[in-house]
Amino acid sequence: MTDHAWRNNADRRRLRENGSCEDLVLDEHAVGYVRGSLQNGGTLAHELVQEKDLAAGLVRTLLPRDLPRKGLDDFTSGIFPEPSAEEQYHSTDEKGSSWRLMPVPNTDECIVSVVQCFLEGDGRRICVLENALMAPADVTMHPHVLPVIVFGDEVYQVLRPGSGNREAILRTVNNARSWLPNGALTMAPPGVNLSRDVTLFRREHLRYLATRTTHIVVGAYDGEGLLIWSET
């Protein structure tokens, strides 16, 4: 099956399984946002900027169908309405200082089927997500993030073929979330064993991931959503 055919089939299956989510195509301003996110990311993100003609691709977002569509081109601001007063928690300490806590929703569930469809293809397909909040020394203290790829002081969480159940995908996306998450749907480098919990990468391995990437994922909407860049 060609990549083009896979994308068409995956689109149909994704929309069927995510009945509560809508696939929306964004304008050229979204390409600039994707480029900026990658330029502020780690080594893999920089390799993606070098290797991919971002202007020639298409950017989408997946959002709940009942979410208002106003402000979709404001990729830095939140897109969910403020929770009702009943969903907010107000507290005051003994010094009189007060603060307000409220749930922060996100659209991580909407991307699960995209990743799941991708991993069901060629056995070398992987999803790689940069964890900008974690250093290699932190990995052993947080086994829930495994497996990971380590390059220098960078940590990337990885979803391998066979690990593509919905719970594992959602957990990995949540764990990798940071102020500006970046990720790629790509192919594992030949000769590299990704069966271990921690795999050490060299620069050429990250460059290979970038060259074989078909979809790029970046965080948007103040942590409440994601944009997906795809080759056309």
pTM higher than 0.85: no
Nearest to 71 by CA among 224, 178, 173: 224
Q: Tens-of-pLDDT digits for all 232 residues of the chain?
A: 233 333 444 444 443 344 578 899 999 999 999 999 999 999 999 999 999 999 999 999 998 887 877 778 899 988 877 666 666 666 777 777 776 565 556 678 888 888 988 988 778 999 999 999 899 999 988 888 889 999 999 999 999 887 768 888 888 888 887 767 899 999 999 999 998 999 999 999 999 999 999 999 999 988 888 999 999 8
- The residue whose two tokens read 């699960």 is 112
Q: Give the integer Cα–Cα distance in Å for 124 and 187.
A: 5
What is the number of alpha carbons within 13 Å of residue 84 lying toward its C-beta?
Answer: 1
